[in-house]
Chains A and B, each alone.
Chain A
Amino acid sequence: MKIDICEKSFSPWALLQEYEQEVLDPLYAGQYGAATVFSGTMREFNEGDGVTGMLLEHYPGMTDRYLEKISAEAAARWELLDTLIVHRVGLMMPNDPIVLVAAWSAHRGEAFEAARYLIEALKSRAPFWKKEQLEEGERWVAHNTPA
């Protein structure tokens, strides 16, 4: 169970490969039949406007605490082997990865449900805020778009 708050751009696919090889396989090779992944990427549009950049602010300390809490809730609710949450903070550009959520389990049902839970719980409880840079001016995102 790992969480990471990342100040620089990351590749979700490179991180997943590294995590499986270095963390999952030594412990669970041959046991995980399912890995589900949600990868969130910055769009170049929101609510009808072009977005040229985005500043992601968070509450250091509380963010870590809630990502760990959410991961522990998923582990208690489903039969999981492991979970991984990575979230970007700071200034980012369109097409930059924002968030990576992954869940590993013996079977797909548990992994799918857990990954969905992790991302929805993160969006509603982890203290991150987005400020969009538009072609003219900037604005705070008031609420997340529905799933």
Chain B
Amino acid sequence: MIQVRFFASLREEMGREGVELDAAVATTIGEVWERVAEGKERPSNLLMARNMDYSDAGTPVSDGDEVAFFPPVTGG
């Protein structure tokens, strides 16, 4: 399984903190988004992380990974 997580405004838009995805149905982060976004277009400024490292839509994913999607960061 792949653990998918959403943060901040995206979590509110998706209506959930995350979801589990069968690792067999996605090979890249971009495909993970398509499987979990329920038709929502990927925002152009969306940030992505695989196992807590910044990644992009082409980054490969595998069983046991944690994938996170979130808006631009605003700390400090």
Give A129 to B70 CA distance when docked, in angstroms.
Answer: 9
Scan A104-139; emit 1 where CB is below 8 A from any B CB, else 0.
000000000000000100111111111100000000
B75 touches A122 (CB 8 A): yes
Instruction: With both chains docked as a complex, state the minimum distance between the C-beta of B13 and any C-beta of chain A, in angstroms.
Output: 10
- Kindly identify, within residues 1 to 58 of chain B, every residue whose CB is under 8 Å from any CB belonging to chain A: 5, 7-9, 47, 49, 52-54
Size band of the interface chain B makes with A: 10 to 19
Which of A13-21, A25-33, A56-64, A73-81 faces chain B?
A: A56-64
Chain B nearest CB, measured from A80 CB (Å) = 20
Known: A57-B8, A59-B68. A130 touches B75 (CB 8 A): yes
Contact with B along A25-44 (1 / 0, CB 8 A): 00000000000000010000
In the complex, besides A59-B49, A127-B73, 19 extra interface pairs with C-beta distance below 8 angstroms are A56-B75, A59-B70, A62-B49, A62-B68, A122-B75, A123-B74, A125-B73, A127-B7, A127-B75, A128-B74, A128-B76, A129-B9, A129-B70, A140-B71, A142-B72, A142-B74, A143-B72, A143-B74, A144-B76
Partner of B75, one of A61, A87, A140, A142: A87
Interface residue A6 (Cβ < 8 Å from any Cβ of B): no
Q: Determine whether A98 belongs to the interface, using a CB cutoff of 8 Å to chain B.
A: yes
A65 interface residue (CB < 8 Å to B):
yes
A-B contact pairs, 29 of them (CB 8 A): A40-B76, A56-B75, A61-B52, A62-B52, A65-B52, A65-B53, A98-B76, A99-B75, A119-B76, A123-B73, A123-B75, A125-B54, A126-B75, A127-B7, A127-B47, A127-B49, A127-B75, A128-B75, A128-B76, A129-B7, A129-B8, A129-B70, A129-B74, A129-B75, A130-B75, A140-B71, A142-B71, A142-B74, A144-B76
Q: How far is the CA of A58 from the CA of B68 in the complex (A)?
A: 12
**Shortest distance in angstroms between B64's beta carbon and chain A's nearest beta carbon?**
15
In the complex, chain B residues whose CB is within 8 Å of the CB of A125: 54, 73
